[in-house]
Amino acid sequence: MSDRREVLIIGSGPAGLTAAIYTARANLSPLVIEGEPSSTTDQPGGQLMLTTEVENFPGWPEGIMGPELMGRCREQAARFGAEFLTAKVTRVDFSSSPKKVWVGETLYEADAVIVSTGAQSLMLGLEAESRLIGHGLSTCATCDGFFFRGQDIGVVGGGDSALEEALFLTKFASSVTIIHRRDSLRASKVMQDRARANEKIRFMWNTQVTDLVGDTKLESVKLKSLETGEETTAQFTGLFVAIGHRPNTDLFKGVLDMEDNGYLKTVPGRSLTNVEGVFACGDVQDHTYRQAITAAGSGCMAAIDCERWLEAQHG
């Protein structure tokens, strides 16, 4: 026995939930397979579940907590008839119609599928990260930089992201220290020149973050020199981890076209993938903006593309 619907949405961050709101209001009764908690950086609701205050989502002048924002979007989708399944998709087959999606042994079939499985920030793998994320530890300077006004903060990484985050953070912080595990940066020359020319930015070379100190809020950061083995503590009250992102696309390998970096390919300016009737939105296909509002916007695009495609199918 399988469950068959017109629209199935995989993923429940801002993109998936916006797609759910739109397709539900179009009477398409979407089923959202929302994921299930499997680690601190992987749970239903996506990356906003790891955020504390969100101050840049339009409509919330006083700010809103990330999990509350996602809870409200979910409620809004449910109000119009979206159904939710708290589970992880384990396999897909989009080679014929209806499209097939499995959760374990259970098969779900749909005329159209919207993929919004998001991306994850790579983390350092320290135990304290799950406790302090959103409490001094962050992976998004655009989202959280404002909260670090007048503080001394660190940024981990040596690529373009780390330098871009560091440069942005100099608008708020007293000082920004780039902590890099080697003695040369991977970032482009132009970004390196900009960072080196900024008097608020310092570099800590050949250094590894070994622990984060603080129970409810980051108080300091433990470091180790990879040259001498010397261990030190830096009084950073903010730490931004910028060592890269990984799109959640393992499920779609060999099924949907991807960029070399694993992000799904969509038709420029649209949500269409290479498979008819499969649409992608949010961070799973966006390695440039990565904001809740851009993800939500692309979720709306996917819903409209999907609705029009279904209409055309039904003649």
Determine whether 310 is exposed, middle or buried from the number of CB atoms within 10 Å of its CB (0-12, 13-18, 19+). Answer: middle
Nearer to ligand NAP, 85 or 156 (CB): 156
Q: Find the shortest distance in angstroms from Cβ 140 to ligand NAP.
A: 12
CA 237 – CA 176 distance, rounded (Å): 11
Helix/strand/coil for 198: coil
Q: Which is nearer to ligand NAP, 136 or 158 (CB)?
A: 158
> 73, 111, 140, 305: which is the annotated catalytic residue?
140
Cα 208 from Cα 148, distance rounded (Å): 22
306 catalytic? Reply is: no
Both tokens of 259, joined, read 């960029």
191 three-class SS: helix
Burial of 152 (0-12, 13-18, 19+ CB in 10 A): middle
CB of 138 to ligand NAP, least distance (A): 14
Instruction: Look up 250 and say whether it is catalytic.
Output: no
Which residue has the CB atom at the shortest distance from ligand NAP? 159
Closest distance to ligand NAP from the beta carbon of 189 (Å): 11
Residue 143 catalytic?
Answer: yes
Q: Which is nearer to ligand NAP, 159 or 262 (CB)?
A: 159
CA distance 128 to 115: 31
Residue closer to ligand NAP by CB (options 107, 204) is 204
Smallest gap, in angstroms, from Cβ of residue 132 to ligand NAP? 16
Least CB distance from residue 145 to ligand NAP, whole Å?
A: 15
Catalytic residue among 143, 281, 286, 306: 143
Which of 144, 283, 286, 305 is labelled catalytic? 144
- For residue 144, which amino acid is it? D
Q: Rank residues 189 and 253 by Cβ distance to ligand NAP and give the closer one.
A: 189
Specify the residue, 27 or 188, whose C-beta has the smaller distance to ligand NAP: 188
Q: Which two tokens mark 79?
A: 């109000």
Distance separating alpha carbons of residues 120 and 246, to the nearest angstrom: 5
Q: Which is nearer to ligand NAP, 33 or 209 (CB)?
A: 209
Q: Cα(280)–Cα(94) distance, rounded to whole angstroms?
A: 13
The C-alpha atoms of residue 276 and residue 267 are separated, in whole angstroms, by 12
Residue 153 near residue 173, CB atoms below 8 Å: yes
Question: Under the rule (CB under 6 A), what is the footprint of ligand NAP?
Answer: 124, 156-162, 164, 181-182, 186, 243-244
Please state, in angstroms and rounded to a whole number, the distance separating the CA atoms of residues 93 and 107. Answer: 10
Amino acid at 136: G
State the Cα–Cα distance between residues 203 and 176, nearest whole angstrom: 9
Tell me the closest approach of the beta carbon of residue 247 to ligand NAP, in angstroms.
Answer: 12
Which 3 state secondary structure label does DSSP give 292?
A: helix
CB of 194 to ligand NAP, least distance (A): 10
Q: Which residues are annotated as catalytic?
A: 140, 143-144
